Amino acid sequence: MSSDMDAIIIGAGHNSLACACHLAKRGWKVAVYEQNAAPGGAVKSGTYTKPGFVHDWAAMNLSLFAGSAFHTENAEELASHGLAFAPTGNPFSTLFPDGRWLGISNDAAITRARVAGLSTADAQAWDSLTAAFPTEAEPIFAVLGSPMNMRALSSLGWKMWRKKGGSGSLDMARFLMMSPRAWLDQTFESDHVKATLAAWGMHLDFAPDVAGGAVFPYLEAMAGQAFGMVLGQGGAQTMTDAMVKMLKAHGGQLHLNAEVTEIEQAAGRATGVTLADGRFARAERAVIANVSPSALLRLTGGTGDARHEAAMARFQHAPGTMMIHLAMDALPNWPAPELKRFAYVHLAPSMDQMARTYAQAKAGLLPDEPVIVVGQPTVVDPTRAPEGKHVLWLQVRMAPGLIRGDAAGKISATDWEGAAMPFAKRALDIFERYAPGTASNTIAKYIVTPDMLEVDNPNLIGGDQVCGSHHLHQHFMNRPARGYADGSTPLRNLYHTGAAVWPGGGTGAGPGTMLAKKLAGN
């Protein structure tokens, strides 16, 4: 094993790989150590049901990566290593129990007409949002793509003040603090329109009444209409595979089945890592840990700073998710045939239902009516299944990592081994009500419980797919703790990255890219 690495990175998720590629491209000697037999973390694909049916393990939507700073800089090289996207102009929709539905497509006239079918007033509000999106989104994207330090914030604030003035800047700050329900109630009148957009908040741990969540339904709606969505051609694995090839092309190393058990330190400085087999790997310039905050404490034995250690120990995680992968003879028999064209169909009938589901999961209860996200990747990319067949990707949100009971009073098991099948049946029964015949068209299914997600990737504690709540106390300058949103830690040469660090979860590789730029100086 080489002992003269400039940087050692723990974990081979997409943030690690983006960081490693950026550093290696600039001449750093980089080694990545991954405990699993395959890289990718939550961004990987496999034949989990039947041969020929390719399923995305967790992440499916690669739009954030396609628009990321890392991809923008490296698009040509990544494409040469096999990265390929499958775009769609019909990103998401919601089907309601009364048979009505609303879908967001990148044809603005069609989307507006759908909104108008629910509310004329809301169509006019939609027009206003659409017209203002290029201007209003610019400062939001600037914040989400900027390092979270005082210098960057001061620059962003000054630019916003010059462009929008004092009142406009304060209005933007107010919007960033709003809950989804507050913004949606002030903007639309149709409960169907509100629920369609509010469902996106649930993807990032923002139930309708959680402050700071309005920006995500807004961005998903407007960006979906403006740009559509992209999946990975042949599976999300294309993104991971391309970054691994890029890393190796620039001399970087990837070690699989190599669990790091300790981050070594001396005189307040990280010096390297010890592996499960007892080997030591030295890092001259940086040890970069793509781990949960609690794991950072465990690996270091403490960072030497009481405030930082307390923040890592108290870092809060979002409720979990159950994944259900289905191999299908046919697409769901939706009441509206147009729904067979959408990448996502949400089964989330109201903001009240979403709020109740979230509260139940936070209380440790299996929700009586979980939100179901039905991903239809073969609508966008038919190569993922044999001809005429399909795969479905179901997220069941929310699901408690630790079960204390059942909100419906019907499931007695309080461990996932016992609760997996009855809770999956509850979700599939809901799906069947919306799309009768789904069960009879199912060839095979594979259920992934929250604890299975965590075993596969220890960063997904309790099945939390975003490695930590994005609520305001853990977002912006507080992610993962005040003073450490730039990936630094109290230990010299030790850095923290991954979804637990600003700007957080998603496939955009922001934490890894920002840290690499900080370390490399560009």
* pTM, two decimal places: 0.96
Which of 185, 206, 227 finishes a domain?
227
Residue 53 belongs to a domain: no
Q: Are residues 323 and 451 in the same domain?
A: yes
| 336 and 289 within one domain | no
Domain holding 400, by residue range, is 319-456
pLDDT digits over 283-315, tens only? 999 999 999 999 999 999 999 999 999 999 999
Say if residue 97 is in the same domain as residue 208.
yes
Instruction: Establish if 434 belongs to a structural domain.
Output: yes
Residue with tokens 């330090």: 149
In-domain check, residue 438: yes
267 and 355 housed in the same domain? no
| Co-location of 326 and 452 in the same domain | yes
Closest residue by Cα to residue 500 from 475, 522, 467 = 467
CB atoms within 10 A of CB 329: 11
The reply to whether 175 falls in a domain is: yes
What's the whole-number mean pLDDT along residues 474-482?
95
For residues 308 and 391, state if they share a domain.
no
DSSP 317-370: ---EEEEEEEEESS----SSGGGGG-SEEEE---HHHHHHHHHHHHTTEEPSS-
pLDDT of 64 > 50? The answer is: yes
52 in a structural domain: no
In a domain, 29, yes or no: yes
Same domain assignment for residues 441 and 495: no
> To the nearest whole number, what is the mean pLDDT of the chain?
96
- Tell me the per-residue pLDDT of 422-462, one tens digit each, with 9 for 90 and over: 999 999 999 999 999 999 999 999 999 999 999 999 999 99
Residues 124 and 218 in one domain: yes
- My answer on whether 435 and 484 are in the same domain is no
State the pLDDT confidence band at 374, using cuts at 50, 70 and 90. very high
pLDDT at site 161: 78
Read off the tokens for 349.
Answer: 């009938």
SS3 content of the chain, % helix, strand, coil (to 5): 45, 20, 35
Q: What is the pLDDT of residue 151?
A: 76
Pick the last residue of a domain from 227, 262, 293: 227
Please give the pLDDT value at position 3: 57
Residue 141 scores a pLDDT above 90:
no
Assigned domain for 85 exists:
no
- pLDDT grade for 159, boundaries at 50, 70 and 90: confident
Same-domain pairing of 393 and 286: no
Looking at the structure, tell me whether residues 294 and 171 fall in a common domain.
no
Banded pLDDT at 2 (limits 50, 70, 90): very low
Distance from C-alpha of 181 to C-alpha of 214, rounded to nearest angstrom: 8
54 belongs to a structural domain: no
Q: Which of 227, 257, 276 is the last residue of a domain?
A: 227
Q: Domain holding 264: CATH number?
A: 3.50.50.60
Count of domains for the chain: 3
Q: Are residues 402 and 290 in the same domain?
A: no
The mean pLDDT of 236-256, rounded to a whole number, is: 98
Q: Compute the average pLDDT of residues 466-470.
A: 95
- The residue-averaged pLDDT of 409-413 equals 98
pLDDT of residue 1: 44
The mean per-residue pLDDT over the stretch 251-258 comes to 98
